[in-house]
């Protein structure tokens, strides 16, 4: 009798175990993961102020500020399903270590195909008055005299000899047509891999600078055609780390 | 017989009138703490401002008012919003063509009035600001106005226990002071600055005793003939931008709206300001070039510059004789709302 009960118990445990397992296979397990944005200059980590870099267009520079908004994050899976982060607005600031890690909750553990996000803030948020969190105008990423968010900021010094006005300043924004500067970035992965605990996104300032020649332009601080062009260009600085 | 009846009438009515006036006056003099309630006057359009995300509360209003009067908002704690926006003069910097701010520095434009802003789609002379809540950022960060940052203001406010309490009262317990809340409180105060009780309003609402003189009546007729297309009733603005033929100032070189849109057709265009309380908000125009209403009218009849950008509404010359001009000015003065200009709820209070 006792052995009979014991066998029954083991059997039910096995059954429930199987049930749980099958449950996992149907909906997929979910985990909290993070997107880690890594600012670099070429092959090296980006060092603010301290380091001198030479750009593709032969400018000698140091970088003092790199900030941009990542919004509308989506993770794409190979089964064509999509994870969409709600209320997705993140200010990335090369100077603020904790801003470089974006926590995403309950992300399905499945084979991932890629990552989508916007650089910048959408027009709805741009006309919605005073917002909070990373969108709080206190963050210095909101224009005062011409409303709207600055989608990306890059500042530093042109260290080429003989230049007195040696600061460069790019504040890229604008949400009104025809000068919208929010941009989509689509990054696809070639690896076959289940959602990792950390997705590393490289932001390569050297790649951004390959489109800049400081001798021609060292300042864009208003919405307009120049800002639109630069927004197109800097989308190319992002890639997934393999 | 008739005179007797008249006398009887007066005898009966006069005490009633005195009683009513007394009641009316006392109701104002004793209400510094009266309730703040946003009103959509009868016949007015729907407000543009989204109250659902920032409902006006007595505590939010009080906090916004305190911030509005506080020079802490400027870099060196010298200049407050109320430095240039004074209630008695329709919340503008009266008698200053170009307003000045921190360190006595001068700006490039005439201070705009703050009133009935819930109906404004855009703010500033060039319409560069798209929401009332973010409007204060412009004067706060302007190097010739307050020369400050919102970040610095939040830091300063956090050091004040009195402000901490006020933010908690306005936005709930355990509230932290944030940039958003500073702006929301200011918006609650600004959106409450409403003027709709001028003689003109009493007339339009057909209130007892409200009557225009013949001169004012003729002025209204002229207004509707010559001015109404831009200064649309009841707000006395069409909320749009127009070039009204002012000869561009060679020193200021202000292109107006084009600065925001980069669109050539917006050259020299500026916001059409409301004319409410115009009597007390001199000087006039975006650069304050006209000291009085007579000079302003002279511009429209004799001074309009020829330009491809001139508003089509001004393509036909305006002709008015001197009497007409006087009548029109008499009408414009019926837009003065004394109750608004002296509403004690908006006075500075130290607490």
Instruction: Give the pLDDT band (50/70/90) at residue A242.
Output: confident
Long-range pairs, A95-103, Cβ under 8 A, ≥24: A95/A48, A95/A65, A100/A36, A100/A37, A100/A38, A100/A39, A101/A34, A101/A35, A101/A36, A101/A37, A102/A34, A102/A35, A102/A36, A102/A37, A102/A70, A102/A73, A103/A32, A103/A33, A103/A34
Shared domain for B126 and B255, answered yes or no, is: no
Give the residue from B136, B164, B195 where a domain finishes: B195
| Distance to chain A for B311, nearest Cα, Å | 23
Contact A138 B178 (CB under 8 A): yes
Half-sphere exposure of A28 (CA within 13 A, CB side): 15
Contact A145 B124 (CB under 8 A): yes
Query: Is pLDDT above 70 for A13?
Result: no
**Could you tell me if B67 lies within 8 Å of chain A, comparing CB atoms?**
no
> Mean of the pLDDT values across residues B301-322?
94
What is chain A's length?
Answer: 242
Give the residue from B156, B174, B195 where a domain finishes: B195
Which residues of chain B have a CB within 8 Å of the CB of A139?
A: 151, 179
Q: What is the pLDDT of residues A165-212, one digit of tens each?
A: 689 999 999 999 999 999 999 999 988 889 899 999 999 999 999 999
Angstrom distance (rounded) from CA A84 to CA A72: 7
Contact A136 B180 (CB under 8 A): yes
pLDDT of residue B260: 92
Q: How far, rounded to the nearest angstrom, does the alpha carbon of residue B55 sit from its chain's CA centroid? A: 21
**Could you tell me if B151 lies within 8 Å of chain A, comparing CB atoms?**
yes
Which residues of chain A have a CB within 8 Å of the CB of B183?
A: 129-130, 137
Nearest CA in chain B to A224: B262
Query: Is pLDDT above 90 for B104?
Result: no
Q: Is residue B130 assigned to a domain?
A: yes
Q: Is residue B42 assigned to a domain?
A: no
Nearest CA in chain B to A223: B260
* ipTM score: 0.80
**Could you tell me if B242 lies within 8 Å of chain A, comparing CB atoms?**
no
- A63 Cβ contact list (under 8 Å, min separation 6): A41, A46, A48, A49, A53, A94, A154, A155, A156, A205
Number of domains in chain B: 2
Instruction: Give the pLDDT band (50/70/90) at residue B105.
Output: confident
Nearest CA in chain A to B262: A224
Chain A interface residues (partner B, CB cutoff 8 A): 126-132, 136-140, 142, 144-148, 176, 179, 223-225
> Mean of the pLDDT values across residues A57-80?
96
pLDDT of residue B280: 94
DSSP B119-151: G-SSBSTT--B--GGGTTHHHHH-TTTT---HH
| Domain range summary for chain A, segments of one domain joined by + | 28-240
| Distance to chain A for B122, nearest Cα, Å | 10
Shared domain for B91 and B125, answered yes or no, is: yes
Shared domain for B244 and B166, answered yes or no, is: no
| Distance to chain B for A228, nearest Cα, Å | 13
Contact A129 B261 (CB under 8 A): no
Please state, rounded to an integer, the average pLDDT across all residues of chain A: 90
**Could you tell me if B179 lies within 8 Å of chain A, comparing CB atoms?**
yes
Q: What is the pLDDT of residues A73-125, one digit of tens each?
A: 999 999 999 999 999 999 999 999 999 999 999 999 999 999 999 999 999 99
Share of chain A above pLDDT 70, in %: 86
Instruction: Give the pLDDT band (50/70/90) at residue B239.
Output: very high
> Mean of the pLDDT values across residues B244-258?
92
| Distance to chain B for A71, nearest Cα, Å | 19
pLDDT of residue A163: 64
Angstrom distance (rounded) from CA A121 to CA A143: 13
| Distance to chain A for B178, nearest Cα, Å | 8
Shared domain for B77 and B106, answered yes or no, is: yes
Which residues of chain B have a CB within 8 Å of the CB of A132?
A: 178, 180
Contact A138 B54 (CB under 8 A): no
Query: Is pLDDT above 50 for B23?
Result: no
Give the residue from B195, B215, B247 where a domain finishes: B195
Q: How crowded is residue B312: how many other Cβ atoms within 10 Å of its Cβ?
A: 8
Share of chain B above pLDDT 70, in %: 90
> Mean of the pLDDT values across residues A128-141?
95
Q: What is the pLDDT of residues B182-208, one digit of tens each?
A: 999 999 999 999 999 999 999 999 999
Tell me the backbone φ, ψ of residue B285, rounded to 5 degrees: 85, 165
Contact B179 A136 (CB under 8 A): yes
Which residues of chain B have a CB within 8 Å of the CB of A129?
A: 50, 53-54, 131-134, 183-184, 187
Indicate which CATH number applies to the domain containing B89.
1.10.760.10
pLDDT of residue A25: 42
pLDDT of residue B6: 58
Q: Is residue B86 assigned to a domain?
A: yes
Angstrom distance (rounded) from CA A115 to CA A72: 10
The structure tokens 């490039």 sit at B108
pLDDT of residue B96: 79
pLDDT of residue A3: 56
pLDDT of residue A135: 97
Q: Is residue B27 assigned to a domain?
A: no
pLDDT of residue A190: 87
pLDDT of residue B31: 40
| Distance to chain B for A100, nearest Cα, Å | 21
**Could you tell me if B293 lies within 8 Å of chain A, comparing CB atoms?**
no
| A175 contacts A182 by C-beta, under 8 angstroms | yes
Contact A130 B133 (CB under 8 A): yes
Query: Is pLDDT above 70 for A11?
Result: no
> Mean of the pLDDT values across residues B52-63?
95
* ∠ Cα A193 A196 A199 (to 5°): 110
Shared domain for B280 and B321, answered yes or no, is: yes
Contact B187 A130 (CB under 8 A): yes
Alpha helix positions (H), chain A:
2-27, 123-126, 205-209, 225-234
Domain residue limits at B177: 51-195
Lowest mean pLDDT among A46-50, A105-109, A235-239, B88-92: B88-92
Shared domain for B94 and B216, answered yes or no, is: no
pLDDT of residue A26: 44
Shared domain for B277 and B331, answered yes or no, is: yes
| Distance to chain B for A138, nearest Cα, Å | 5
> Minimal CA–CA distance to B190: which of B49, B285, B341, B46?
B49
Q: Is residue B12 assigned to a domain?
A: no
* ∠ Cα A75 A76 A81 (to 5°): 115
Please state, rounded to an integer, the average pLDDT across all residues of chain B: 90
> Minimal CA–CA distance to B181: which of B147, B142, B150?
B150
> Mean of the pLDDT values across residues B322-340?
97
Q: Is residue B22 assigned to a domain?
A: no
- Joined tokens for residue B217: 């009546």
Lowest mean pLDDT among A14-28, B100-114, B226-240, B294-308: A14-28
């Amino acid at each position: 009798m006792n052995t009979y009960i014991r066998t029954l118990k083991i059997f039910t445990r096995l059954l429930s175990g199987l049930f749980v397992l099958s449950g996992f296979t149907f909906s997929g397990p979910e985990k909290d993961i993070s997107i880690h944005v890594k600012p670099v200059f070429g092959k090296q980590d980006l060092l603010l102020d301290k380091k001198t870099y030479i750009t593709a267009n032969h400018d000698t520079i140091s970088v003092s500020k790199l900030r941009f908004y990542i919004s509308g994050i989506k993770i794409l899976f190979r089964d064509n399903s999509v994870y969409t982060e709600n209320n997705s607005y993140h200010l990335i600031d090369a100077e603020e270590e904790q801003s470089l890690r974006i926590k995403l909750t309950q992300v399905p553990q499945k084979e991932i195909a890629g990552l989508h996000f916007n650089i910048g803030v959408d027009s709805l948020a741009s006309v919605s008055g005073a917002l909070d969190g990373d969108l709080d105008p206190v963050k210095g990423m909101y224009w005062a005299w011409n409303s709207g968010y600055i989608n990306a900021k890059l500042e530093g010094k042109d260290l080429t000899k003989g230049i007195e006005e040696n600061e460069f300043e790019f504040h890229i924004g604008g949400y009104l047509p025809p000068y919208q500067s929010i941009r989509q970035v689509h990054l696809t992965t070639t690896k076959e891999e289940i959602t990792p605990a950390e997705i590393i996104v490289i932001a390569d300032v050297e790649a951004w600078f390959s489109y800049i020649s400081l001798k021609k332009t060292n300042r864009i601080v208003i919405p307009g055609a120049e800002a639109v062009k630069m927004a197109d260009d800097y989308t190319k600085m992002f890639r997934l780390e393999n | 017989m008739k005179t007797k009846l008249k006398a009887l009438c007066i005898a009966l009515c006069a005490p009633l009138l005195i009683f009513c006036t007394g009641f009316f006056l006392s109701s104002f003099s004793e209400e510094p703490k009266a309730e703040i309630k946003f009103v959509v006057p009868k016949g007015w359009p729907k407000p543009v401002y989204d109250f659902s995300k920032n409902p006006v509360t007595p505590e939010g209003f009080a906090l916004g008012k305190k911030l509005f009067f506080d020079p802490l908002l400027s870099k060196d704690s010298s200049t407050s919003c109320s430095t240039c926006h004074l209630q008695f003069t329709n919340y503008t910097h009266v008698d200053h063509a170009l307003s000045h701010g921190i360190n006595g520095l001068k700006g490039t434009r005439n201070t705009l009035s703050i009133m009935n802003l819930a109906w404004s789609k855009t703010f500033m002379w060039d319409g560069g600001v798209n929401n009332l809540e973010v409007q204060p950022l412009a004067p706060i960060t302007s190097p010739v106005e307050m020369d400050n940052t919102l970040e610095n203001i939040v830091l300063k406010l956090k050091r004040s226990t009195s402000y901490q309490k006020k933010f908690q009262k306005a936005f709930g317990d355990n509230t932290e002071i944030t940039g958003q809340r500073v702006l929301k409180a200011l918006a609650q105060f600004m959106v409450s600055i409403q003027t709709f009780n001028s003689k003109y309003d009493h007339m339009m609402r057909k209130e007892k005793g409200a009557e225009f003189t013949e001169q004012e009546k003729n002025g209204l007729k002229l207004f509707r003939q010559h001015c109404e297309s831009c200064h649309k009733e009841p707000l006395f603005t069409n909320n749009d931008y127009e070039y009204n033929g002012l000869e561009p100032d060679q020193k200021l070189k202000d292109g107006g709206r084009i600065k925001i849109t980069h669109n050539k057709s917006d050259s020299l265009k500026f916001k059409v300001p409301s004319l409410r309380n115009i009597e007390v908000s001199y000087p006039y125009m975006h650069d304050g070039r006209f000291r009085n209403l007579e000079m302003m009218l002279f511009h429209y009849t004799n001074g309009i510059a020829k330009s491809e950008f001139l508003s089509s509404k001004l393509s036909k010359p305006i002709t008015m004789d001197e009497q007409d001009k006087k009548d029109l000015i008499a009408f414009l003065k019926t837009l003065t709302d004394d109750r608004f200009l002296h509403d004690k709820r908006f006075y500075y209070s130290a607490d």
